[in-house]
Structures are given as structure tokens and as C-alpha cells.
Amino acid sequence: MNKNTKTKRLVVFFVTIAVIAAVILGFSNGISKHLTLGLDLQGGFEILYEVSPLEEGGTLPDMSAVAKSVSKRVNVLGVSEPQIIIEGDNRIRVQLAGVENQDQARRMISATANLTFRDVNDELLGDASIIQEGGATLAFQDGKPVVSLKIADTTKFGDLTEKVSTMGSGNNLIVTWLDYEDGDSYKEEAIKLQNGGEAKYISAASVTQRLDSDAIISGNFTEAEARELADLISSGSLPVKMTEISSNVVSADYGLGALASTSFAGIVGIALVFAFMIFIYRLPGVIASIMLTVYIFAVFAIYSAMGAVFTLPGIAALVLGVGMTVDANIITFERIRDELYKGRSLQKAVKEGQNLSFSTIFDAQFTTLLAGLIMYVFGNGAVKGFATMLMITVICTLVINVAVSRFLMNQLVNSGVLDNKKGWFGVKVSKIPDVTKNEKQTYFGPFDKIDFLKHAKKMILVSCAILSVAVVMAGINTASGNGPLNLGIDFSSGTKITVTSPEKMNMADVEATFKDLGYDKVKFQASGDNAVYATIKDALNTEQLDEIKSTFMDIYGEEPGDNVVTPVVGRDLVKNAIMLSLLAWVAMLVYITLRFKWDYAVSCIVALLHDVGIVIAVFVIFRLEFNTELISVILAIIGYSINNSIVVFDRVREDLNNAKTAKLTPDFYRGIVNEALDNTIVRSVYSSITTILPIVCLLILGSNAIFTFTFAMFIGLIAGTLSSIFIAPQIWFYIRTHMKDKPKKKKNNKKEELEEYTIKGINA
């Protein structure tokens, strides 16, 4: 390669860096403005409705039509980026972030808004079809708010008003009803009104002559009530009954606080990853940091383009994704180091390292993608949001690692400026052999003489001890009536109130307030100095929630958040969690069997069961809350643990293929496993560090709202790292040395004897 070509490569390297910087700086502001924050980051609510026919025994309309009707209601509220999701055959999930008046929003969404006009005998005169679509508006008459109606069918309206006008004094009334039900009576409701109560009908207007023009609905309305009524009528009737079976309300102050603390923790964690990579790998670490910056930018750009909702679990998944993404670089860099220690030139070492690492990266990332796909297709709520981020992470890792990291590395290396600077790649130059002098490789890794399989037994004993303690604790908790797991309301049903204060609060005061309100059986948990979680076993109704929230609003000046789950949702979540885990395991078992062999797949699955078991065991021992987010963690750990195990087994398979001996003894297999682990353990440790660093930052600096999530992830990452080093290889070694193929039995019959003869012209 001539000097001009080398110079051009160096120019391309720096121009590419400049273009990346320009794109990120130029588009970051626009992307940030178009990001949609979830309700856990800006406040709002999420409600899961069960949809049923208005009349018993009736049939449901198409759910997409119901969703459109709900969407019209939401549009009236002026909410930006609402999420209306159909789940199953009869459920709709509504997510509204940034709603100021949540009570009004709930009324607007669930009200059927079936407008009818009736006489004093409750006979139907007409319905909303006589009104123009969107023809109800707020108006004022004599300074009082009324609802103005634009009549579409003036003839029909004229006929019904003429009929009513002839019914005699006192009976010549058009009674306007919203959501009239069989058994409702104008006369009974009128008596309630006379006695100072509230009537179910909206208004009762007297009619003395035929009216062929527009009309008004007047009553004892406030301006807000009149506007809400007009909006409901304009949005049309909802031909179904919608029952809340789960809800989650987050105050705006609490959401913004969670966003600020979690974002700061994420930035610190990512900065530490940058520093670690540069310290360990020198120049390649700088390139990895550039790639990570591109990855983060790409994730935000994709989220913005998709219109996806950014949530707290999403931020946690992004931070986790940083560790998983840099893992692809670590695999490549370690392979390059291996080649350099063999005495390869820098260009050959980089090329060979990139080629050898790609299949490992692909297999490891693809198994994580499988977990993400299963979570997205079969999960819901926070699980689906986490899955979206996980899949984007995998795709960005594969694309950016190939398109950005390798491109930059190749341009720099092939420019020739690094030919005599192998130390810039984090290797010990004194350990590199000079092949021109027939020197042999002397450095094989820092753990060359360690028998990992021997130490694996100690690790297995520790794991068994932890699991045994968990079983004992589960038995004690069950005997005491608390159950083996501390199930959150996601699985057990109930209500969780998040009481917050701008200043430091005393949990005893919160407990006393709940007792004053008549709630004795409440579990309390402090979350920092400014929040307390109160969990009630019963699913409270709207009136009960309003009383609690208004009380604490008066005390602390901030409206509490609430999360309500009915028993039917809890049962469904348990089934869904088990199904997700089983599907993920089966999918990975099949894929690994196809890519490797069945014994590799079985070993990986055993390691997965170990990792999930350890996480659950820790939660049992310390009585931590088992909730929906833990399912996301378990599935993420499944992907991560598989990732680590595949890296080890990829090296085992490679060493087996390169082995020249035909005698497959236990000692031979032991040597293969130990050598593979020696070659990959540094990568496993470094990868775990880059993944755990951001998680530790989230634990220390992040929002308490995702403490359970991040703590479970922390435990799972440690378990996943150890199982890939000690559990999975040990299981594979056991299978290879104990599950031998049975020798084929020789058939002893006349046909076999005849086949031994050689017949000239036929088989000779």
C-alpha cells in the first residue's frame, strides 16, 4: 500500500469522526424535543379496562372500533401522545401522560355518553343521531353556561318537540339523559332533586311549541361541567361498558424527580464505562467510547422516529444496553490481543480478531434478541417497553459494531501510523514473540494454570447453600401465613399508594393518617426521605382513592400516586410470567442446539435456571417485593447469561475443532474447558464490569421507583457471570464424559451372513 493510500485512510478516519460529531450535535436537540416520556417520568395514569356489552348477553363490537371511540374521548382532553392498546379479546389499556385533571379524564374515557331525549314517562323521543357530529359546544345564556346543540335532523326534532308541547302543563318536558339505564325514572329523580339531592338526568326543559332550529341543554352547570358535557356528546357514545380492573397513577412531581435522578445516574454510569474502556484498551477503548456515543444517539433517534414512549424501565434497559453493547467490542478487542500475543502483525491481528469474534457476537446477541421478541409479543405494560429497548439495543449493537467500530479501527490500522505502537492496544509488548526470530508464544493469559472445573464445585456448593436458605425461609414464611414470596399487588391484587412530600417525611405520620381514615391492615415501606409506599390488599374504588389522595394532598401539598390491580389481573400476570419464561427457554434451547449441539444447549439452560433461582432466592431471603418489573429482569438475565455462556462455548467448540488428538478422554475435555475459560475469563470479567457499573450507579443515584428492578439486575448479572464460568462448563464437561453414545449392536442373522459374501460383478 503506497503512502498516499495510507494518508487517505487517516483522513477518512478523522473526517468520519467529524461527521459523527456534527450529526449528533446537529440533531440531538430536535430528537430530545420529540421524545415521548412515559407517565412514570412526567406523571399521568395508566388504566386497564375490561370491555363488556351494555346489555347482558349482548355481543361486543369490534375492539378496534371501541379503541377509536376511546381515542376520540382522549383527543378531547388535549393529551399529547396518548397510548391506547388493545390487549386480548376484551381489554383496552389507556396510558395518558401529563394529564392535569385525572378524575375528569377517567370520567370522560369510561362514560358511555349515550345521549337520549325522553318524556316525563321515560318514553324515548330521540337520541344523539338528531345532533350534528361534533355539534355540541359550550355556550352562555343570560351569563350562565349551557350546552348548545346543532340539530342535524330539524324535522325529526320538530316532530318530537311538537309532541311534547301538547302533553299538558307540567308534563310538557323534554328530559335529557346521559347513559339512561332500564329502571331509571324521571319522576323519582325529580323528587331527589326537590329534596336537595342530585338527579341522574341532565336537564328537563319545558316545550310550549314546535322547534325546528338548534337547541340548548341548560341546568345548574358550572362552566367546567358544561364544557365536559359538550365534549362527551361531541365525542359520541361508547357502545360498551368499560370496567377498571387495573390502574396506575403517578404524580407529575414524582415522575419528574424520578427522571432527573435516573438520568443523572445513567450519565455517571456511562461515563465510568468510557473511562474503564480507555484505561484497559487504550486506543481501542477510545474507539469503543465513540461507538457507544453513536449507539446512545441511535437509540434516542429510533425511539423518537417510532414515537415510542420512554419509561423508567426503558432508561434502565438503555443503561444495561451500554454494557451489552460494549461487550461486543470487548470480544473483538480480546481476540485482537490473542492474535498479537501470537506474534501477528497489527493488520493481521485486527483482521483475524474481527473475523473470529463476529460469529460469537452474533450468537450472543441473537439469543438476547429472542428474549426481547418474546417479551414484546407476549408481554404488556412495562415488560413491553423494556423489550422494545432491548431489541433496539441488539440491532444497534450488531449494526454499529460492524458499521462504525470496525470501520474506524480498519481505517486507523491500515493507515500504518500504528505499526510500531502495539502497546496502544493494551497489550504487554514484552510478551509479544518475534516470529522472525522463530520465537514461540509464551503468554497465554493470566489464568493459564488454573483448573476452573476443580473450583466449580465450590461455586456450586455456594449456590446450593443460597437456594437451601431460600427454601427454608419460604417454608417459615408460609407457616407464618405470609406466603413464600412477598408478592406485589401486580400478582396478588390490591392497591399501592405512593405518598410523596417536597420535604423529609416521617413514615409514622403516614401510618397514623391511614389509621384515621379507617385502614388498619396496611404495609408501609419508606423510599428515601420523601416517599412512602402504602400497600393495601383490597382493590380500592375511585371514591376511596379520592378520599385518601385529597387527605394527603392537604397534608403534604402533593397528590399521591396510586396503583390498583384486581384479582383477575393478578392471576393473568402470574400465568403470563410463567409463559414468557418457558417460551424464552424453549426458543434458546432450540437455537443453541441448531448452532452448537444439544449438550451445549442443556448446559446453558441449567445455568439459566441457576441464575433465575439465585435472583428469586435473594428476594425470598430478604422478603423483597416480587412484581412485574422483576419479570423483565429475569428475561433480561436470561439473555445476558446466555450471552456469556455462548462466548465460552464458542471457544470450546473452536478448540475442539482445532484439536488433532482422536482420544477424547476426560483429561482431554478438562484441558479444552480450562483453556477456553482461560481465553475468555478476562472478557467475561470486563464485560460484567462494564454492565454492572451503570447498574450500581442506578442503585446508588437512581430513582427509588426502580430500586427493585436495578437490585434484581445487579444480583442477576453477578449470578450470570459466575454461572457462565463455573456452572455451564461443568455441566457440559459432565455430559461429555458420562453420556457416551451406545455402541451399535451387530445383527446376528442369516441375512448378515449372506452380505459377507463377495459376488463378482455385483459387489466386487
Q: What is the pLDDT of residues 162-187, one digit of tens each?
A: 888 888 777 888 888 877 888 889 98
pLDDT higher than threshold 70 for residue 549: yes
Residue (of 635, 637, 632, 646) closest to 604 by Cα position: 646
The HSE-up count of residue 485 (CA atoms within 13 Å, CB side) is 16
pLDDT given for residue 235 in this prediction: 64
Q: Enumerate residues 6+ apart whose C-beta is below 8 A from 516.
A: none
Mean per-residue pLDDT, 567-588: 73
Question: 759 versus 348: which is more confidently predicted?
Answer: 348
The C-alpha cell of 251 is what?
404524580
Q: Enumerate residues 6+ apart whose C-beta is below 8 A from 373.
A: 387, 391
pLDDT-derived band at 540, boundaries 50, 70, 90 = confident
Mean per-residue pLDDT, 482-497: 82
Q: Enumerate residues 6+ apart whose C-beta is below 8 A from 553.
A: 559, 560
Q: Enumerate residues 6+ apart whose C-beta is below 8 A from 104.
A: 77, 224, 228
pLDDT given for residue 764 in this prediction: 42
Cα separations in angstroms, 334 against 146, 273, 338, 352, 354: 75, 17, 6, 11, 10
Place of cell 346543540: 149
Question: 349 versus 311: which is more confidently predicted?
Answer: 349
Q: Which amino acid does the sequence have at 168?
A: G
Tell me if 90 sits within 8 A of 243, measured CB to CB.
no
231 backbone φψ class: left, alpha, beta (φ>0; ψ -120 to 50): alpha
Find which of 376-385, 548-557, 570-579 is predicted with most confidence, using mean pLDDT.
548-557
Mean per-residue pLDDT, 622-645: 76
Domain covering 494-565, topology? Alpha-Beta Plaits (3.30.70)
Question: 757 versus 161: which is more confidently predicted?
Answer: 161
Same fold, 39-111+240-250 and 571-738: no
Tell me if 141 sits within 8 A of 216, measured CB to CB.
yes
CA dihedral over 639, 643, 649, 650, signed as positive or negative = positive
Residue (of 242, 225, 233, 239) closest to 69 by Cα position: 239
Tell me if 477 sits within 8 A of 484, measured CB to CB.
yes
Query: How many percent of the chain have pLDDT more than 90?
Result: 15
pLDDT-derived band at 61, boundaries 50, 70, 90 = confident
CA dihedral over 661, 662, 667, 672, signed as positive or negative = positive
Is the CATH number of domain 115-235 1.10.1300.10? no
Mean per-residue pLDDT, 103-127: 79
The C-alpha cell of 302 is what?
429510533
Q: Enumerate residues 6+ apart whose C-beta is below 8 A from 660.
A: none
Radius of gyration of the chain (CA): 34
Residue (of 92, 312, 134, 349) closest to 232 by Cα position: 134
Distance in angstroms (rounded) separating the CA atoms of residues 12 and 400: 17
Residue 702: burial class (beta carbons within 10 Å; 0-12, 13-18, 19+): buried
Q: Report if pTM > 0.75.
A: no
Is the CATH number of domain 571-738 3.40.50.12780? no
pLDDT-derived band at 485, boundaries 50, 70, 90 = confident
The HSE-up count of residue 79 (CA atoms within 13 Å, CB side) is 33
Question: 281 versus 583: which is more confidently predicted?
Answer: 281
Q: Enumerate residues 6+ apart whose C-beta is below 8 A from 132.
A: 150, 151, 152
H helix runs in 195-344, sequence order: 223-235, 252-281, 283-306, 312-341
Q: Enumerate residues 6+ apart whose C-beta is below 8 A from 663.
A: none
Enumerate the domain spans of the chain: 39-111+240-250, 115-235, 494-565, 571-738
Cβ count within 10 A of residue 546: 12
Distance in angstroms (rounded) separating the CA atoms of residues 451 and 139: 85
CA dihedral over 328, 333, 338, 340, signed as positive or negative = positive
Tell me if 494 sits within 8 A of 539, measured CB to CB.
yes
Distance in angstroms (rounded) separating the CA atoms of residues 397 and 24: 18
Residues in the chain: 764
Q: Is 140 helix (H, G, I), strand (E, B) or coil?
A: strand
Q: What is the CATH number of domain 39-111+240-250?
A: 3.30.70.3400
